[in-house]
Amino acid sequence: LKAISITADQLQKALDGELMFDGSSIEGFVRIEESDMYLKPDPSTFLVLPWNSTTSKAKTARIICDIFDSNGEPFIGCPRFALSRAIKEAGEMGFNMQVGPEPEFFMFHLDENGIPSLQTNDKAGYFDLPPVDKGEEARRDMVEVLQSLGFEIEAAHHEVAPG
């Protein structure tokens, strides 16, 4: 994923498909001669995020965009375009896409300078309980945020590897 931040007064311009960016600055997108690209927000993906900036009381929202070339054609390298095309083709063959993500991660201790070290935060294993599992509270916080974003959470637990 890539991101750009705009102010609220630029939202209408973005919704009108006038938000340009330099596609040649993203490795693997396009050559400098084809660099003018447009972001077109998908209003169905608009979401006010459940957290605020630490320096501002303003709310922050997220909206996912499709990428178009300077001729107004969908950019073939846009992941959303590629996925929608694949889903359409699969549907024409009688298939239906279903997704069940299972995000996994490691938690590491910070060194004396606040930099993550290579030392995992615990030695717990699959389905272990606190206090052996030191990530229980962090996972609970993540589940609450994900639920507030509309995700259905089936379960949260420590995996096999430490950390």
Amino acid type, 84: S
Residue with tokens 């507030």: 148
Q: Where in the chain is the domain with CATH 3.10.20.70?
A: 8-92
Q: How confident is the model at residue 54 (pLDDT cuts 50, 70, 90)?
A: low
Contact 38, 66 (CB under 8 A): no
Question: Model-level pTM?
Answer: 0.73
Q: What DSSP string runs through 127-145? A: TPPTTT-TTHHHHHHHHHH
Q: How far is CA 55 from CA 3, 6, 58, 114, 132, in A?
A: 19, 16, 9, 21, 36
N-term to C-term CA, the chain: 25
- The pLDDT of residue 140: 95
The CATH homologous superfamily for domain 8-92 is Glutamine synthetase, N-terminal domain (3.10.20.70)
Average pLDDT, the chain: 90
Q: Which residue do the tokens 């919704």 mark?
A: 15
